[in-house]
Amino acid sequence: MNWKVITPKLLVVSGIILFAALMRLVPHYPNFTPIAAIALFGGAHLGKKHLAFIIPLVALFISDLFLGFHNMMIPVYLGFVLIVLLGTLFRNNVRIPYVIGGSLAGSVLFFLVTNFGVWAMTPYYPPTLEGLMMSYTMAIPFFHAAALGDLFYNAVFFGGFYLVLQRYPALRLG
């Protein structure tokens, strides 16, 4: 193993991501989870692009081992990967407006991808444009909690990591 890849920053960011994934296992308000925040935070703070995708995906998978697998995993993981990609767009320029914008954009992206999956992969809605719009409309009540959860967890992860960086500036490296 190349030990130069394992930096203190990688360990701290990975630890935050793993902790957040385990937070899915404790009781919480429906859809108020750290899922999208894990993806955005990992994309923005894991220096190597392959690690930005692998570490959050592995953390999500580990929590899914405990929660159980389901037929909507493909859209969930696809939405997750797209949010990691979104986080990589401001990797070298993490600022409050980008975190807020990325959080909201990630919420919308996840909503669109997963509810498209519900429409395409389940018998709940007719396979028409009207059925797709019905799928999105019926999911709006769930979107509010998800978007608030994303904003909350992104504030905690990005804000907390910023505070840690103030105390330990060496973490900027890597």
Residues 6+ apart with CB under 8 A from 38: 17, 20, 21, 56, 59, 60, 80, 153, 157
- Residue type, position 93, single letter: N
Instruction: Judge whether residue 104 has pLDDT over 70.
Output: yes
Specify the pTM: 0.90
Residues 6+ apart with CB under 8 A from 129: none
* pLDDT, tens digit, 9 for 90 and up, residues 74-84: 999 999 999 99
104 is in which domain, residue-wise? Answer: 8-169
Q: Is residue 12 part of a domain?
A: yes
Other Cβ atoms less than 10 A from the Cβ of 57: the count is 18
* pLDDT, tens digit, 9 for 90 and up, residues 11-66: 899 989 988 888 888 898 988 999 899 999 999 999 888 999 999 999 999 989 99
Q: Is residue 35 part of a domain?
A: yes
Quick check: 151 and 103 in contact, CB under 8 A? yes
Q: Is residue 148 part of a domain?
A: yes
Q: Is residue 96 part of a domain?
A: yes
